Amino acid sequence: MIVFGLTLTYLGKIKQKLLDLISILLYNQLMYTDIFGQQVYNEQDLLDLYLTDTEFKTSGKIFVDEAIKFDDSLELDNIPNLVTYVISDKTIEEFDNDCMNKWFMPDEYRNFDIAAYVLNLCNTDEELQRVGKELLLYQKRDMFTLLQYLKYLVDTMRNNNIVWGVGRGSSVASFVLFLIGVHKINSLYYDLPIEEFLK
């Protein structure tokens, strides 16, 4: 009898959670994320975020599911740039390339020969072979802009005395990223194959 009572109590809690979720979905479509990872907000989401999240007020471009205009008489401070969301016909690869081309990066880094820089940091034939192999993989994936940006990011953090971690995940298998300074794990020393990162 006790087990049956506990089961009914448990089922009652699950039922209530499901009813709460259904009522939220019926009352107000929640913010959603498109296939490119962009968040799209509705009017209620915007209001909630404006009132509770101070960083939201300084955000850049915010996608909304319909044209929203705030009443000028409200005297709201720091309204972010609201852009009506339009479904894109781009592929994920095209979208990704467009985004990489819009990253803020000074021209000296955008025009920087990252391959020559990394190759010049090599001290042994083994390092040269590994860097050559990795650079071919990065080039095949059209990721040189990413490497240039990472060089800019590392230089900026060093110039501003910002500390970052030793390394994270499979990226530590990249000797090129080690030479640029993204992480501090020498993948040659630890015999980490680049295929762990660039599959």
pTM of the entire predicted model: 0.61
**36 and 100 share a domain?**
no
Please write the tens of the pLDDT for every residue from 32-53. Answer: 787 878 778 877 777 777 777 6
Measured between alpha carbons, how far is residue 3 from residues 6, 9, 88 in Å?
Answer: 5, 10, 53
| Same domain assignment for residues 114 and 187 | yes
What DSSP assignment string belongs to 130-165? HHHHHHHHHHHTT-HHHHHHHHHHHHHHHHTT----
Domain of 23 in residue numbering reads as: 2-84
Domain boundary among 84, 102, 127: 84
Buried b (16+ CB within 10 A) or exposed e, 30-54: ebeeeeeeeebbbeebbeebbeeee
Domain count across the chain: 2
CA angle 144, 136, 175 (to 5 degrees): 80
pLDDT one digit per residue (tens) for the chain, 199 residues: 444 444 555 555 565 555 544 544 444 455 778 787 877 887 777 777 777 766 665 556 777 777 666 555 555 556 667 778 888 888 888 888 787 777 788 999 999 999 999 999 999 999 999 999 999 999 999 899 999 999 999 999 999 999 998 998 999 999 999 999 999 999 999 999 999 998 8
The answer on 127 and 63 residing in a single domain is: no
